[in-house]
């Protein structure tokens, strides 16, 4: 009887523990907004729609993806001297809250600016370059650049300068936290990278 009671007690404690953990893991958008306002706003703007071409727009980005990037910036798996300092200030809860809040913000549309390259960018984004085994970007990031939650980031409307910089970093081995992107970017030249980045900026 005592063994039975002990087992019941252990199960009850475990259930309570899981409930507490689940409650703690639930994102708090209000706290996320406050943390963003203290740590991130100077570079990414009040609503996550950065106006600086070198800094990414984060509004409407998938929370799971943002949280992963913050974790990897903090750990050093994704190398950025600037962002490592900011990410290191954030706890796991902070990251989850900020990512959740950003995911709910309304994105601002961008525009393509290089009419000579945008056709090439569209061709690569939608169909890849088969003879060089470069996969179509749309296969993972969706035809309209919305991405796929938890796996592939939203790209539509992103600053062309930022997108080109990240593709170049993947190609050159500077950014190492996505084997898949490293393999794709490794086969692209500067003109192709610029074309895709410009096309992505104008996606709706």
Superfamily of chain region 27-103: Cytochrome c-like domain (1.10.760.10)
Mean confidence (pLDDT) of the chain: 91
CATH 1.10.760.10 in the chain, residue ranges: 27-103, 115-201
Query: pLDDT, tens digit, for every residue of 57-113?
Result: 999 999 999 999 999 999 999 999 999 999 999 999 999 999 999 999 999 999 999
Q: What confidence tier does 18 reach under pLDDT thresholds 50, 70, 90?
A: very low
Inter-axis angle of helices 92-103 and 29-39, nearest 10: 100
Distance, first Cα to last Cα, the chain: 65
Average pLDDT over residues 187-196: 98
Q: Is 10 left (phi over 0), alpha (psi -120 to 50) or beta?
A: alpha
Structure tokens at 143: 């035809």
H/E element holding 39? helix 29-39
pLDDT of amino acid 44: 98
Cβ contact 105:157 at 8 Å: no
Cβ contact 15:8 at 8 Å: no
Is domain 115-201 given the CATH code 3.40.50.2000 in the classification?
no
pLDDT of amino acid 43: 97
């Amino acid at each position: 009887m005592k063994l039975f009671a002990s087992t019941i007690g252990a199960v009850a404690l475990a259930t309570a523990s899981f409930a507490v953990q689940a409650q703690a893991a639930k994102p708090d958008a209000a706290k996320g907004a406050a943390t963003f306002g203290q740590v991130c706003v100077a570079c990414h703007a009040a609503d996550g729609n950065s106006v600086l071409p070198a800094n990414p727009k984060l509004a409407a980005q998938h929370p799971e993806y943002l949280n992963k990037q913050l974790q990897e910036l903090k750990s050093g798996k994704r190398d950025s001297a600037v962002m490592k300092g900011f990410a290191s200030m954030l706890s796991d809860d902070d990251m989850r809250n900020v990512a959740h809040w950003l995911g709910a913000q309304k994105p601002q549309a961008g525009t393509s600016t290089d009419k000579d390259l945008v056709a090439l960018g569209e061709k690569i984004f939608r169909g890849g370059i088969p003879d060089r085994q470069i996969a179509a970007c749309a296969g993972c990031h969706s035809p309209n650049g919305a991405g796929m939650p938890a796996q592939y980031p939203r790209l539509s409307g992103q600053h062309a300068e930022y997108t080109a910089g990240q593709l170049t970093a993947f190609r050159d081995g500077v950014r190492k936290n996505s084997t898949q992107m490293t393999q794709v970017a490794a086969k692209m030249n500067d003109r192709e990278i610029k074309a895709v980045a410009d096309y992505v900026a104008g996606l709706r």
